[in-house]
C-alpha cells in the first residue's frame, strides 16, 4: 500500500455517471479527497503521478451485497481476505448483510466489524443491521441504535419474516427512523428447501425445485406492505422476469422502491447446472433464458437499479457433496466488474450505464457518499485498462472462496489501480 | 490417496459429466443414468442379461468377477435392490461387502467424501450406491479413484437405471424386442420417482411408440413433457389401449405434504383395479417396481392376477444387474464369456 498526500491521475478517460462526465482529463487528489478535475488546485505538488493514458478512470465500485463471513464463518472468508479481494477487483465499498454469527443486531457487532475493517485497511465496508432480533422474525431489532452505530439499512437476510404483522411493524418502525429496508424476496413455504429452478432441468435431474412464485408472491406481498407503510425499500437479487415487471410497475405507481440483480443472473441459466454442477447452486436459483434476458433488459431500462456480486465465499468442502447437499452461493467479488463490462461488450447496455449500476446507483441506494468523482468526495477510484484481455483462473482468485462457475471465462478490461481514500491499495 | 484440498478437478466438477459413464473406447465404465447412453448400450445390457438369465436358472454361478470386491454402499434403506445386487455379485463370484451408512458413519458427522476415501483404501473395485440426494452417484463417480466403477442403485429423485433396465427386460420378454408399436403408461407419483425418470429415458432411447405419464398435477414435475412423454390426469384415459401399465409406489408422506387429500381418494382415482384395467389392451402387462401398497395404488386382485409380472421383475433384476456389473467391471468380457451359457439354455 502506498500512502500519499497528493496524487495526480493524468490523461485518463474519466467516466463519472453521477456527474454525466465522460472525458479525457486529469484528476487531482489531496488528503484522500478529490480536489480537482481538469484544473489543477492551488498548492498542488503530487508525491505520485499515475499516467492513465488509454485507461478508464471510474468511481470505485460499490457492492450492494457481499458476505465477508466474519464474524462467525472465518473458514470461508475473513474481513481481511475479502476486502483485499475486493480491491483487486476495483471494489472500494462493500455492503454486508446482517446474517453473520453473531447476527448484526446490536451496535457492538457493527463496531467490531468497523474496527476490523479499519485495521485491515483495504476496502470500505458498510453494514446492514438485522430487521428483527437474531433475524428470527419475532421481535424488532433496536433499529435506531443500529442506525446510530452506522448501519446503512436493515434486512432480515435470507431469513424471511413469515409473520406479516411483524413485517408490517418492522417497516413502519424503519420508516419512522428513515431507514431503508432491504428484502431478499423468498417465500420459504414455496421454495420448500429446493435447490434449482422449477423447470425442465430440475425435472430431468430430479432436483427439489423452487417455483417463480417463491419470489414473486413474496414481492407482491411486500409491495402491498411498502405501499401501506411508505417505507423506503430495496429488493435484492431478483431472478424472475415477472419480478422485474412488478418492480417496474411499483415504481411507476410512485412507490419508493429499488432493486438489484446479482451479476451471475445476467449470464447463467438453469442449463448451466448441466449435470449437477454445484458451482451453479445459487439462491435464488438460475432461471431460464427468458428470465435472463428480462433481467438484462431491466438493467438497460433502469427498472433494475444496480448490479451486485451477491458474494458468498465457501471453503472447498462446501461444494464437495451431491448437488442438493452443497451450500448455495458464488465467490463473486472478482467477477462483478468483468461481467458488468461484458454486458457492454455484448451490446446489452452502454458503458455509462454499466458503471452507474456498480457505483453511483448502489451508493445512492445505501445513502452514502461514494460511487462518484465529484469534487470534495472521497477519492475512491478504479483505473481500468480497457483493452487487456484475460482469463479467470483458479490460481488468480484472491478471495478465500474459490467457488465460481466462471473459471475459464475470458474477459476484456482489467483493473490496474484501486484507490481507497486517496491511497493506492492495489496496483495490477 | 490424493489430498482433496489440492485436487484442482474438485473445483471444476460439472463439466460433461454424462460422458464419465463411458471409457475411452465407448464401453460402460459407470452406470449412473440412462440419459446419454445409446440404443446400442441398452440393447447390449439386455442381451447380456438374457444370457445371464440362463445362469440363474441352471448354472447358478459363473467365475467372471472372481477376485473382485464389490461394495453395496446404501445410505438409504432398501431390501430388494440391495439383495438382488448382492445375489448378482455372488453369482458372478465376486466378494460382496454390505455397508449400511444410514446407521453408521454419517451419524458421526463423516462426510460422503471421507466415507468414500476410507472405502477406497480397502481396495474395492465397485461401489453400488444408493443415496437420498439427486446427483450423489455422479458425485461419487467423479471423485472415486480411477479404477473404481460406480453403479447407481437410486439417487434421490434422479435415477435408478438398473431398475429401469430390468423393467425394459421384462417388457422385452413379454412384448418382444421392438418397442416401436408399444404404448406404455406410467401411473402415480412421477414427481418423486427416480424409477419413472429412468424408465422414461430408457423407453424413449429404445424408441417406444407412446410413453405416457398419469397423475394428478401435484405429483407431476414441471415441464415433464420435455422428457418425451404425454401427460394424462385421468387413469382410464391414460391407460387406454396400453400394452404396459407401470404403477408407482405412493409414499405415505405425500399426504402430509398436502400433495394429496387421502389414500382413499387416491385409490378411487388412480388405484389400478380389474375394472379399470379393462381400458388397457386385453394382453396388457402390469408392472410395479415394488414394494407395493395394496389398496393404495393397486388392488390385490391385479397385483396377484395373471397380467401382473411384478415378481418376474424381481427375478429379472438379478440377471440385469449381473449384466451391468460384468460390463462395467470387465468391459466386453461379459458378452464373450457368457455366449456359451446362452447356447446351453
- Convert the pLDDT of each residue in A279-338 to its tens digit: 999 999 999 999 999 999 999 999 999 999 999 999 999 999 999 999 999 999 999 999
Indicate the pLDDT class of residue B108, thresholds 50, 70 and 90: low
Structural domain boundaries in chain A: 6-57+378-427, 59-366
Query: Strand B244-247 vs strand B183-187: parallel, antiparallel, or unpaired?
Result: parallel
CB-based contact B197 A276, cutoff 8 Å = no
CATH topology of domain A59-366: TIM Barrel (3.20.20)
Q: Which of A310, A350, A369, A395 is catalytic?
A: A310
B32 to chain A: nearest residue by CA? A275
Residues B123 and B186 in one domain: no
The grid coordinates listed for A2 are 502506498
Give the one of A203, A323, A402 whose C-beta lies nearest to B221's C-beta: A203
Choosing among B221, B248, B257, which should be mutated to test the A contact, i.e. which has the most A CBs within 10 A? B221
For residue B54, the distance in angstroms to the closest alpha carbon of chain A comes to 35
Q: Is the pLDDT of residue B267 over 80?
A: yes
A271 to chain B: nearest residue by CA? B14
Distance, C-alpha B129 to centroid of its chain: 12
A-chain CB neighbours of B221 within 8 Å are: 202-203, 209
Residues B123 and B68 in one domain: yes
Beta bridge partners of B128: B72, B151
Indicate the pLDDT class of residue B10, thresholds 50, 70 and 90: very low
B157 to chain A: nearest residue by CA? A206
- DSSP-assigned states of every residue in B113-127: HHHHHHHHTT--SEE
Considering chain B, what is the average pLDDT of its residues?
A: 87
CA-based nearest residue to B163, from B317, B10, B51, B301:
B317
A319 to chain B: nearest residue by CA? B11
Instruction: Find cell 484501486 and name the residue.
Output: A418
Q: Is A332 within 8 Å of A311 (Cβ atoms)?
A: yes
Q: Is B164 within 8 Å of B34 (Cβ atoms)?
A: yes
Residues B220 and B88 in one domain: no
Task: Give every CB contact of residue A202 below 8 A, 6+ residues apart in sequence.
Answer: A194, A196, A208, A209, A270, B221, B222
Q: Is the pLDDT of residue B287 over 70?
A: yes
**Widest CA span of chain B, in angstroms?**
62
In a domain, B342, yes or no: no
Query: Strand A381-391 vs strand A56-59: parallel, antiparallel, or unpaired?
Result: antiparallel
In a domain, B18, yes or no: yes
CB-based contact A323 B18, cutoff 8 Å = no
Indicate the pLDDT class of residue B5, thresholds 50, 70 and 90: very low
Angstrom distances, CA of residue A6 to CA of A48, A374, B200: 7, 17, 70
Query: Which residue did the predictor score with more confidence, B55 or B162?
Result: B162
For residue B163, the distance in angstroms to the closest alpha carbon of chain A comes to 16
Q: Is A189 within 8 Å of A135 (Cβ atoms)?
A: no
A-chain CB neighbours of B194 within 8 Å are: 206
For residue A223, the distance in angstroms to the closest alpha carbon of chain B comes to 28
**A86-A88-A92 Cα angle (round to 5):** 45
For residue B8, the distance in angstroms to the closest alpha carbon of chain A comes to 8
In a domain, B34, yes or no: yes
- Domain boundaries A6-57+378-427, CATH class: mainly beta
CB-based contact A279 B157, cutoff 8 Å = no
Give the one of B156, B158, B223 whose C-beta lies nearest to A199's C-beta: B223
Identify the pLDDT of residue A4.
52
Distance CA B129, CA B106 (A): 15
CB-based contact A278 B14, cutoff 8 Å = yes
A198 to chain B: nearest residue by CA? B222
Residue A310 a catalytic site member: yes
In a domain, B341, yes or no: no
Give the one of A198, A273, A325 whose C-beta lies nearest to B133's C-beta: A325
CB-based contact A199 B159, cutoff 8 Å = no
Residues B251 and B301 in one domain: yes
Identify the pLDDT of residue B58.
66
Residues B70 and B51 in one domain: yes
The percent of residues above 90 in pLDDT, for chain B, comes to: 71
Per-residue pLDDT reduced to its tens digit, B323-336: 999 999 975 343 44
Task: Give every CB contact of residue B201 below 8 A, 6+ residues apart in sequence.
Answer: B33, B34, B35, B164, B227
Give SS3 for A322. Answer: coil
Identify the pLDDT of residue B118.
84
Q: Is A127 within 8 Å of A79 (Cβ atoms)?
A: no
Residues B26 and B66 in one domain: yes
Identify the pLDDT of residue B56.
58
Q: What is the tally of structural domains in chain B?
A: 2
Identify the pLDDT of residue A352.
98
B-chain CB neighbours of A214 within 8 Å are: none
Give the one of B111, B113, B135 whose C-beta lies nearest to A276's C-beta: B135
Query: Strand B126-131 vs strand B149-155: parallel, antiparallel, or unpaired?
Result: parallel
Give the one of A277, A324, A402 whose C-beta lies nearest to B14's C-beta: A277
CB-based contact B133 A276, cutoff 8 Å = no
Q: How many CB pairs under 8 A join A and B?
A: 113
Q: Which domain holds residue B296?
A: 161-309
Indicate the pLDDT class of residue B1, thresholds 50, 70 and 90: very low
Tell me the ipTM for this assembly. Answer: 0.90
Count CB atoms within 10 A of the CB of residue A233.
24
CB-based contact A209 B222, cutoff 8 Å = yes
Classify residue B133 by its DSSP letter: S
The CATH number linked to B216 is 3.40.50.1370
B-chain CB neighbours of A316 within 8 Å are: 4-5, 10-11
In a domain, B278, yes or no: yes
In a domain, B345, yes or no: no
In a domain, B143, yes or no: yes
For residue A284, the distance in angstroms to the closest alpha carbon of chain B comes to 18
A-chain CB neighbours of B5 within 8 Å are: 316
* Helix orientation angle between A79-88 and A107-120, rounded to the nearest 10 degrees: 60
A325 to chain B: nearest residue by CA? B133
Indicate the pLDDT class of residue B20, thresholds 50, 70 and 90: confident
Query: Which residue did the predictor score with more confidence, B68 or A1?
Result: B68
CB-based contact A280 B15, cutoff 8 Å = no
Residues B174 and B40 in one domain: no
CB-based contact A322 B134, cutoff 8 Å = yes
Choosing among B158, B192, B213, B219, which should be mutated to test the A contact, i.e. which has the most A CBs within 10 A? B158
The grid coordinates listed for B132 are 437420498
Residues B175 and B267 in one domain: yes
CB-based contact A200 B226, cutoff 8 Å = yes
B8 to chain A: nearest residue by CA? A394
Q: Is B171 within 8 Å of B199 (Cβ atoms)?
A: no
Give SS3 for B149. Answer: strand
Residues B215 and B262 in one domain: yes
In a domain, B238, yes or no: yes
Residues B171 and B254 in one domain: yes
Spell out, as residue ranges, where chain A has pLDDT lower than 70. Answer: 1-4
Identify the pLDDT of residue B89.
95
Q: Is the pLDDT of residue B295 over 60?
A: yes
Residues B61 and B107 in one domain: yes
Residues B15 and B144 in one domain: yes
Amino acid at each position: 500500500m502506498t500512502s500519499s498526500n497528493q496524487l495526480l491521475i493524468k490523461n485518463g478517460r474519466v467516466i463519472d455517471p453521477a456527474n454525466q462526465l465522460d472525458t479525457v482529463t486529469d484528476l487531482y487528489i489531496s488528503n484522500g479527497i478529490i480536489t480537482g478535475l481538469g484544473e489543477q488546485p492551488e498548492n498542488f505538488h503530487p508525491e505520485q503521478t499515475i499516467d492513465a493514458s488509454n485507461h478508464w478512470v471510474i468511481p470505485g465500485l460499490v457492492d450492494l451485497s457481499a458476505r465477508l463471513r466474519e464474524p462467525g464463518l472465518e473458514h470461508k472468508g475473513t474481513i481481511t481476505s475479502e476486502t483485499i479481494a475486493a480491491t483487486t477487483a476495483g471494489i472500494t465499498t462493500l455492503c454486508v448483510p446482517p446474517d453473520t454469527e453473531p447476527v448484526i443486531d446490536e451496535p457492538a457487532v457493527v463496531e467490531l466489524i468497523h474496527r476490523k475493517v479499519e485495521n485491515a485497511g483495504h476496502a470500505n465496508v458498510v453494514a446492514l443491521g438485522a430487521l428483527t432480533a437474531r433475524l428470527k422474525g419475532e421481535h424488532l431489532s433496536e433499529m435506531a441504535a443500529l442506525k446510530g452505530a452506522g448501519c446503512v439499512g436493515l434486512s432480515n437476510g435470507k431469513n424471511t419474516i413469515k409473520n406479516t404483522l411483524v413485517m408490517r411493524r418492522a417497516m413502519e418502525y424503519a420508516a419512522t427512523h428513515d431507514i431503508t429496508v432491504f428484502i431478499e424476496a423468498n417465500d420459504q413455504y414455496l421454495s420448500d428447501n429446493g435447490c434449482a429452478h422449477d423447470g425442465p432441468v430440475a425435472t430431468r435431474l430430479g432436483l427439489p425445485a423452487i417455483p417463480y412464485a417463491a419470489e414473486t408472491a413474496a414481492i407482491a406481498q411486500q409491495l402491498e406492505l411498502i405501499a401501506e407503510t411508505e417505507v423506503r425499500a430495496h429488493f435484492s437479487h431478483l431472478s424472475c422476469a415477472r419480478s422485474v415487471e412488478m418492480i417496474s410497475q411499483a415504481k411507476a405507481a410512485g412507490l419508493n422502491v429499488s432493486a438489484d440483480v446479482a451479476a451471475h443472473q445476467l449470464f447463467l441459466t438453469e442449463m448451466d447446472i448441466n449435470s449437477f454442477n454445484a458451482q451453479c447452486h445459487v439462491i435464488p436459483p438460475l432461471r431460464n433464458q427468458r428470465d435472463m434476458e428480462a433481467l438484462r433488459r431491466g438493467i438497460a431500462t433502469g427498472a433494475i437499479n444496480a448490479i451486485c456480486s451477491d458474494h458468498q465465499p465457501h471453503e472447498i468442502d462446501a461444494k464437495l457433496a451431491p448437488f442438493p447437499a452443497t451450500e448455495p452461493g458464488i465467490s463473486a467479488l472478482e467477477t462483478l466488474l468483468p461481467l458488468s463490462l461484458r454486458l457492454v461488450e455484448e451490446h446489452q447496455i452502454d458503458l455509462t450505464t454499466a458503471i452507474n449500476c456498480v457505483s453511483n446507483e448502489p451508493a445512492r441506494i445505501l445513502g452514502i457518499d461514494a460511487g462518484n468523482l465529484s469534487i470534495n468526495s472521497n477519492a475512491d477510484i478504479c483505473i481500468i485498462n480497457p483493452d487487456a484481455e484475460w482469463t479467470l483462473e483458479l490460481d488468480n482468485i484472491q478471495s478465500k472462496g474459490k467457488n465460481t462457475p466462471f473459471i475459464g471465462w475470458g474477459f476484456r478490461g482489467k483493473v490496474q489501480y484501486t484507490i481507497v481514500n486517496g491511497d493506492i491499495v492495489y496496483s495490477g | 490417496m490424493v489430498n482433496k484440498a489440492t485436487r484442482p478437478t474438485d473445483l471444476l466438477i460439472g463439466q460433461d459429466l454424462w460422458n464419465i459413464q463411458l471409457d475411452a473406447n465407448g464401453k460402460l465404465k459407470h452406470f449412473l443414468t440412462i440419459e446419454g447412453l445409446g440404443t446400442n448400450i441398452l440393447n447390449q445390457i439386455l442381451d447380456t442379461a438374457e444370457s445371464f438369465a440362463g445362469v440363474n436358472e441352471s448354472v447358478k454361478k459363473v467365475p467372471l468377477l472372481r477376485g473382485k470386491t464389490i461394495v453395496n454402499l446404501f445410505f438409504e434403506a432398501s431390501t430388494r435392490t440391495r439383495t438382488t445386487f448382492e445375489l448378482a455379485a455372488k453369482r458372478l463370484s465376486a466378494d460382496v461387502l454390505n455397508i449400511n451408512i444410514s446407521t453408521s458413519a454419517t451419524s458421526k458427522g463423516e462426510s460422503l467424501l471421507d466415507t468414500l476415501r476410507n472405502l477406497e483404501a480397502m481396495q474395492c473395485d465397485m461401489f453400488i450406491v444408493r443415496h437420498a440426494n439427486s446427483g450423489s452417484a455422479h458425485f461419487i463417480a467423479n471423485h472415486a479413484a480411477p479404477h473404481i466403477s460406480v453403479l447407481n442403485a437410486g439417487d434421490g429423485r434422479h435415477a435408478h437405471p438398473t431398475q429401469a433396465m430390468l423393467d425394459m427386460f421384462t417388457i422385452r420378454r413379454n412384448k418382444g424386442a421392438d418397442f416401436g408399436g408399444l404404448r406404455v403408461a406410467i401411473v402415480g407419483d412421477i414427481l418423486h420417482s427416480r424409477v419413472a425418470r429412468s424408465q422414461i429415458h430408457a423407453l424413449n432411447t429404445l424408441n417406444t411408440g407412446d410413453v405416457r405419464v398419469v397423475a394428478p398435477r401435484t405429483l407431476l414435475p414441471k415441464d415433464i413433457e420435455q422428457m418425451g412423454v404425454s401427460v394424462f390426469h385421468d387413469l382410464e384415459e391414460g391407460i387406454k389401449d396400453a400394452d404396459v401399465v407401470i404403477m408407482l409406489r405412493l409414499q405415505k408422506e405425500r399426504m402430509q405434504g398436502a400433495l394429496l387429500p387421502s389414500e382413499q381418494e387416491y385409490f378411487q382415482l388412480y388405484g389400478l383395479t380389474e375394472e379399470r384395467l379393462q381400458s388397457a389392451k386385453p394382453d396388457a402387462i402390469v408392472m410395479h417396481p415394488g414394494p407395493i401398497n395394496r389398496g393404495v395404488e393397486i388392488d390385490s386382485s391385479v397385483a396377484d392376477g395373471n397380467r401382473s409380472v411384478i415378481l418376474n421383475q424381481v427375478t429379472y433384476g438379478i440377471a440385469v444387474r449381473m449384466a451391468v456389473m460384468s460390463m462395467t467391471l470387465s468391459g466386453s468380457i461379459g458378452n464373450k464369456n457368457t455366449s456359451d451359457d446362452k447356447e446351453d439354455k
